[in-house]
């Protein structure tokens, strides 16, 4: 009876206390008409005991419009925060916490300390703290997941944990997620398919997952044997233009890879560019060691190599011309890009066929959860991208397109040279992804682009890219998976004119490439990661076809015989940890190239320079026969030693071979460049590169410092004789000379990854020199001495800066300075046999003026309400803010017995742009 009486008193006391608290709960009154959130907080705190806690950047653009009369705070806050991503929580001490995306817990969930075990299907058992599964982040990070069969408890050794990581919002694979193990301190990075495999000791571990643009998270696991752990990572709302790269802060120091840069689409979109559209190639040009010969071209030179020595891959398919409108735009729609990786040294063994660099571009898979879209409208271009699920969580489709309305703009100009011209392009992207099962995924992507250009002349230039890539990924086990890839690439261009009937012509060039390969990834133990594979590539070239147009044309037809070749390769690469501080990455690649018939090969008189006059015979090869064979080993070696946890030294060596040569009379990438396969006379280009670098993370890994030095030797480089002819040359070897080269330099980069002020500053000192290797004086350039290559620019400084004013406003700046490129100048006139001639300097003895440019942009975001028809932003920019007339080239004309020099500038004045971007 006494116990019942005590219980009765407790119940009465709690009831009275609850009633008293309800009667004394503070209320809010006031008329808040468009006041800032911080002012609203001050008024509420002045009339109530509530105290608010929040981050200013989360509420700096929030305006409060509510009317309250003696209302509790909770419903008032529901009105204030409606339509935003902000949440609130009020604890028992009347403290109010405002957070983004998810409200914090002010008390533990029921039965938090009662441990219960569930019996999940398969080999994975989830052990949760709490009888009811809580999907909140706190619960996910504190519950323990058992991996594998408990029967293996007590056994030593290692087990392999594998799985896929996806974006929880879109269902797309999360690329570049760092999966870190606590003890021993090791980790891996998810590949292009969001897949990871991490060997680890059996037992209890904590795993940390970090990624760009995704919320960092942890998982508690007990691994008994091999098993799977898939993960969906939530997106994090990062304030506009604030770039946080936590996922790579360990990679900079700890990885064995050097001479590489990864760009995400957020970084690409924040760099100011000409005509306002985000441009992948322009951003690549801001990286150390990457140069351009001038404005109006997207061709780039890496560490002393030519533009034709870069391998540009678009979902593993080769892109030959990455430009639109002769270089004013890059060929890639920014809205469909997932990631971009540039390799300048220590190039992985799975890549081959080019000497200087690999630019590996991967597109997004498409949203597997819902249909969404994005696009933008700029001064001369418009773009639109749509994506969504064909089968929810299994099959997605992505379609993107861009076009220009520059033809319409040209017609508005009063100058007849321009208003009768044409300058138009379009490109279309298609991607389909299908996950048939946990072990099988299929990917299909296609790309088509077309350009046409005619201004100030009667010739019409057209060129186009056609690309298809199909992939099948199969997971054999946690330790082994394979990706089978088939690609097709085609690039062709044409020049035509029919203004004068007697001179009407049509010229065309075409190159086609078909490739197939299979790549394996094997994870035998925590210390080894092995990649190996095999592939083949078939080339088909139509080097030149000139035909008359119309019956009145006097143009004589001329056709250069077709070429074809087959390049086969096999490779293996092993990254292994010798000690926790010493890692080695070693690889071998063997490539074999065969030039195939039908073909015609000229023979030349011995001990004489190859000219048309020294041809002695012609050899004919039938279809499918082998004309010539070249090949050899390619070595890849990288070493990393951790001096401290935040400082490492790396060294690397790699040898590359290139069997396809790009030939051009211009220093910039041009639609009139031609390609030539290695044959009897043109040997494969060979490059050896030695690199050494120091890498350090500063200020809690928010700042990266890297210093890299390199030295390259180049063999079988191609240069052309003075006055040489490249187009429609039936015996091209007579106008080409073999050269050898050296390139060396130092690259320094300081990168701040996060905060209101972020960006990078880079300085590059680089030299690129060539000399001809020939016993014949007629073929020698500069008497066989070294001379600067056409893309030798010793000094280059670039600053990329972004400052976030508030959640909706930010400023971006791009400033760059570089040494002017080399040029050959006419020095004097002289007369021989009554004919006036010009005496030129040695090749590339002089330089055009140095280059300097500053770009500025203001980025304005719309409001951040979650529920709205479309989310939009504006970018107001000025390209070449100072109006400097940078020299693109220097040319000379002869008139009235005098030679005059002129400087050509592409953008000689500030160019304002306004771009509207949207997504829905």
Is the confidence at residue 659, as pLDDT, over 70? yes
Half-sphere CA count of 95, side-chain side, radius 13 A: 11
Query: Nearest-CA neighbor of 597 among 566, 563, 567?
Result: 563
Is the confidence at residue 635, as pLDDT, over 70? yes
> Is the Cα torsion angle 640, 643, 646, 651 positive or negative in sign?
negative
Contact indicator for 443, 433 with CB cutoff of 8 Å: yes
Contact indicator for 465, 448 with CB cutoff of 8 Å: yes
For residue 648, give both structure tokens. 């490492």
Structure confidence by residue, pLDDT tens digits, 536-581: 999 999 998 999 988 888 889 999 999 999 999 999 999 988 988 8
For residue 751, give both structure tokens. 């990168």
**Could you give the CA distance from residue 141 to residue 843 in angstroms, rounded to a whole number?**
65
Q: Where in the chain is the domain with CATH 2.60.40.1120?
A: 115-238
Is the confidence at residue 891, as pLDDT, over 50? yes
Identify the burial level of 635 via C-beta atoms within 10 angstroms of its C-beta, where 0-12 means exposed, 13-18 middle and 19 or more buried. Answer: middle
E strand map for 455-479? 460-477
Query: Nearest-CA neighbor of 341 among 358, 354, 325?
Result: 358
End-to-end CA distance of the chain: 68
Percent of the chain as helix, strand, coil, to the nearest 5: 10, 55, 35
Burial code of 281-313, b = ≥16 C-beta within 10 A, e = fewer?
bbbbbbbbbbbbbbbbbbbbbbbbbbbbbbbbb
Q: Are strands 63-72 and 27-36 parallel, antiparallel or unpaired?
A: antiparallel
Beta bridge partners of 12: none
For residue 790, give both structure tokens. 């056409």
Structure confidence by residue, pLDDT tens digits, 402-454: 998 876 666 655 555 556 667 889 999 999 999 999 899 999 999 999 998 87
Q: Phi, psi (5° rounding) for residue 562? A: -65, 160
**Could you give the CA distance from residue 454 to residue 227 in angstroms, rounded to a whole number?**
61
Place of tokens 């597997």: 368
Q: Where in the chain is the domain with CATH 3.55.50.30?
A: 25-100
Torsion-angle region of 356 (φ positive above 0: left; ψ -120 to 50: alpha; else: beta): alpha
| Least confidently predicted of 3-7, 49-53, 75-79 | 3-7
pLDDT confidence tier of residue 886, bands split at 50, 70 and 90: confident
- From residue 799, alpha-carbon distances to 328, 607, 762, 796 in Å are 21, 54, 7, 10
Query: Nearest-CA neighbor of 350 among 475, 513, 517, 480?
Result: 517
For residue 382, give both structure tokens. 């418009």
For residue 120, give both structure tokens. 């999940």
Q: What angle do CA 482, 485, 491 make, to 5 degrees?
A: 160
Is the confidence at residue 121, as pLDDT, over 50? no
- From residue 715, alpha-carbon distances to 53, 254, 669, 688, 780 in Å are 65, 33, 22, 9, 16
Place of tokens 């040494």: 819
Structure confidence by residue, pLDDT tens digits, 69-82: 889 999 999 889 88
Mean pLDDT across 277-282: 82
Q: Which residue has the higher pLDDT, 482 or 673?
A: 482
Place of tokens 């008193």: 9
For residue 663, give both structure tokens. 């030939």
Half-sphere CA count of 852, side-chain side, radius 13 A: 6
Q: What is the DSSP string of 797-853?
A: EEEEEEEE-SSSEEEEEEEEEEPPPEE--EEEEEEETTEEEEEEPSTT-EEPPPEEE
**Could you give the CA distance from residue 182 to residue 578 in angstroms, rounded to a whole number?**
19
Beta bridge partners of 95: 51
Helix, coil or strand: residue 480? strand
Mean pLDDT across 864-892: 77
Print the SS3 string covering 346-387.
CCCCCCCCCCCEEEEEEECCCCCCCCEEEEEECCCEEEEEEE
Helix, coil or strand: residue 76? helix
The overall average pLDDT reported for the chain is 83
- From residue 832, alpha-carbon distances to 836, 839, 892, 894, 899 in Å are 7, 12, 21, 17, 18
Helices (H), 710-805: none
Structure confidence by residue, pLDDT tens digits, 245-255: 344 446 677 77
Q: Where in the chain is the domain with CATH 2.40.170.20?
A: 260-387+394-919
For residue 164, give both structure tokens. 């896929």
Contact indicator for 90, 53 with CB cutoff of 8 Å: no
pLDDT confidence tier of residue 456, bands split at 50, 70 and 90: low
Q: Residue 153 has what pLDDT?
A: 67
Is the confidence at residue 242, as pLDDT, over 80? no
Contact indicator for 385, 375 with CB cutoff of 8 Å: yes
Mean pLDDT across 731-736: 86
Q: Phi, psi (5° rounding) for residue 76? A: -65, -45
**Could you give the CA distance from residue 347 to residue 310 in angstroms, rounded to a whole number?**
12
CATH 2.60.40.1120 describes domain 115-238? yes
| 77, 83, 85, 86: CA torsion to nearest 10 | -10
Is the confidence at residue 234, as pLDDT, over 60? yes
Helix, coil or strand: residue 325? helix
Q: Phi, psi (5° rounding) for residue 880? A: 60, 60
Contact indicator for 29, 69 with CB cutoff of 8 Å: yes
**Could you give the CA distance from residue 371 to residue 270 in angstroms, rounded to a whole number?**
26
Structure confidence by residue, pLDDT tens digits, 591-632: 999 999 999 999 999 988 888 889 999 999 999 899 999 999
| Least confidently predicted of 53-62, 346-355, 381-390, 472-481 | 53-62
CATH 2.40.420.20 describes domain 25-100? no
Cβ contacts of 832 within 8 Å, gap of 6 or more:
none
pTM: 0.81
**Could you give the CA distance from residue 659 to residue 567 in angstroms, rounded to a whole number?**
8
CATH number corresponding to 260-387+394-919: 2.40.170.20
Query: Nearest-CA neighbor of 461 among 312, 326, 642?
Result: 326
Print the SS3 string covering 78-105.
HHHCCCCCEEEEECCCCEEEEEECCCCC
CA 342 to chain centre: 7
The share of the chain scoring above pLDDT 70, in percent, equals 85
Residue 206 gets which letter from DSSP?
Answer: E
Identify the burial level of 580 via C-beta atoms within 10 angstroms of its C-beta, where 0-12 means exposed, 13-18 middle and 19 or more buried. Answer: exposed
- From residue 13, alpha-carbon distances to 21, 478, 838 in Å are 12, 60, 109
Contact indicator for 663, 673 with CB cutoff of 8 Å: yes
The share of the chain scoring above pLDDT 90, in percent, equals 37
Residue 791 gets which letter from DSSP?
Answer: T
Residue 714 gets which letter from DSSP?
Answer: E
Contact indicator for 684, 738 with CB cutoff of 8 Å: no
Is the confidence at residue 816, as pLDDT, over 90? yes
Helix (H) or strand (E) holding 409: helix 406-411
């Amino acid at each position: 009876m006494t116990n019942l009486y005590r219980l009765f008193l407790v119940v009465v006391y709690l009831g009275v206390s609850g009633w008293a608290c309800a009667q004394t709960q503070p209320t809010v009154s006031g008329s808040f008409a468009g006041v800032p959130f911080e002012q609203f907080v001050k008024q509420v705190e002045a009339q109530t005991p509530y105290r608010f806690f929040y981050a200013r950047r989360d509420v700096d653009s929030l305006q409060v419009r509510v009317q309250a009369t003696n209302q509790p705070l909770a419903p008032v806050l529901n009105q204030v925060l409606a339509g935003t991503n902000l949440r609130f929580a009020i604890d028992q001490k009347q403290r109010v916490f405002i957070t983004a995306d998810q409200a914090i817990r002010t008390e533990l969930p029921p039965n938090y300390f009662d441990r219960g075990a569930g019996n999940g299907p398969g080999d994975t058992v989830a052990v949760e703290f709490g009888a009811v599964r809580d999907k909140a982040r706190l619960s996910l990070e504190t519950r323990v997941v058992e991996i594998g069969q408990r029967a293996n408890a007590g056994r030593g050794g290692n087990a392999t944990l594998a799985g896929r990581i996806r974006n929880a919002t879109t269902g797309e694979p999360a690329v570049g997620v760092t999966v870190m193990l606590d003890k021993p301190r090791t980790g891996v990075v998810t590949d292009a398919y969001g897949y990871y495999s991490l060997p680890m000791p059996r037992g209890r571990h904590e795993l940390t997952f970090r990624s760009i643009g995704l919320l960092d998270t942890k998982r508690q696991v007990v691994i008994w044997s091999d098993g799977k752990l898939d993960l969906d990572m939530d997106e994090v709302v990062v304030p506009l233009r604030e770039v946080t790269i936590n996922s790579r802060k360990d990679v900079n120091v700890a990885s064995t890879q050097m001479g590489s840069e990864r760009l995400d689409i957020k970084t690409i979109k924040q760099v100011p560019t000409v005509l306002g559209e985000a441009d992948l190639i322009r951003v690549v040009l801001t990286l150390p060691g990457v140069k351009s010969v001038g404005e109006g071209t997207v061709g780039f030179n890496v560490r002393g190599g030519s533009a034709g020595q870069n391998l540009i891959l678009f979902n593993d398919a080769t892109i030959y011309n990455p430009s639109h409108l002769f270089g004013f735009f890059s060929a890639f729609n920014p809205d469909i890009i997932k990631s971009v990786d540039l390799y300048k040294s220590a190039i992985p063994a799975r890549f081959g066929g080019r000497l200087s660099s690999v630019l590996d571009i991967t597109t997004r898979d498409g949203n597997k959860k819902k249909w969404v879209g994005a696009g933008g409208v700029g001064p001369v271009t418009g773009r639109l991208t749509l994506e969504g699920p064909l089968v929810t969580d299994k099959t997605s489709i992505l379609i993107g397109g861009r076009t220009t309305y520059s033809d319409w703009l040209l017609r508005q100009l009063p100058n007849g040279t321009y208003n009768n011209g044409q300058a138009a392009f379009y490109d279309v992207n298609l991607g389909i992804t299908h996950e048939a099962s946990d072990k099988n995924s299929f990917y299909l992507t296609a790309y088509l682009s077309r350009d046409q250009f005619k201004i100030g002349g009667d010739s019409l230039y057209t060129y186009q890219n056609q690309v298809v890539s199909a992939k099948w990924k199969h997971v054999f086990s946690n330790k082994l998976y394979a990706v089978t890839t088939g690609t097709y690439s085609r690039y062709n261009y044409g020049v035509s004119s029919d203004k004068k009937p007697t001179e009407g012509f049509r010229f065309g060039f075409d190159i086609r490439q078909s490739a197939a390969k299979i790549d394996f990834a094997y994870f035998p133990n925590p210390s080894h990661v092995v990649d190996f594979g095999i592939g083949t590539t078939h080339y088909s070239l139509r080097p030149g076809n000139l035909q008359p147009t119309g019956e009145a044309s006097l143009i004589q037809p001329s056709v250069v015989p077709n070429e074809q070749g087959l390049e086969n390769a096999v490779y293996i690469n092993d990254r292994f940890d010798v000690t926790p501080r010493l890692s080695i990455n070693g690889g071998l690649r063997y490539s074999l190239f065969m030039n195939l018939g039908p073909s015609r090969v000229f023979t030349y008189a011995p001990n004489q320079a190859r000219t048309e006059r020294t041809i002695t015979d012609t050899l004919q090869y039938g279809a499918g026969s082998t004309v010539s064979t070249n090949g050899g080993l390619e070595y890849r070696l990288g070493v990393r030693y951790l001096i401290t946890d935040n400082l490492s030294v790396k060294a690397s060596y790699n040898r590359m071979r290139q069997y396809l040569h790009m030939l051009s009379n211009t220093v910039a990438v041009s639609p009139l460049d031609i390609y030539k396969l290695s044959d009897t006379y043109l040997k494969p280009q060979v490059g050896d590169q030695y690199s050494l670098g120091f890498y350090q993370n500063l200020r809690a890994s928010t700042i990266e410092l890297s210093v890299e030095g390199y030295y390259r030797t180049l063999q079988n480089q191609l240069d052309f004789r003075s006055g040489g002819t490249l187009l429609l040359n039936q015996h091209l070897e007579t106008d080409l000379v073999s050269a050898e080269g050296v390139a060396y330099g130092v690259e320094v980069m300081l990168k701040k990854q996060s905060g209101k002020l972020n960006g990078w500053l880079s300085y590059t000192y680089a030299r690129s020199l060539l000399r001809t290797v020939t016993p014949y004086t007629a073929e020698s350039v500069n008497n066989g001495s070294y001379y600067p290559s056409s893309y030798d620019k010793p000094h280059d400084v670039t600053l990329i800066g972004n400052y976030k004013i508030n959640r909706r406003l930010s400023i971006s700046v791009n400033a760059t300075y570089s040494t002017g490129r080399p040029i050959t100048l006419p020095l004097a006139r002289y007369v021989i046999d009554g004919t006036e001639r010009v005496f030129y300097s040695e090749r590339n003895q002089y330089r055009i003026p140095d280059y300097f440019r500053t770009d500025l942009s203001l980025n304005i975001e719309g409001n951040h309400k979650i529920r709205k028809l479309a989310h939009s932003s504006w970018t107001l920019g000025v390209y070449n803010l100072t109006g400097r007339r940078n020299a693109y080239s220097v040319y000379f004309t002869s008139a009235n017995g005098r030679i005059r020099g002129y400087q050509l500038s592409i953008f000689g004045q500030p160019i304002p742009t306004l771009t509207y971007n949207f997504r829905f």
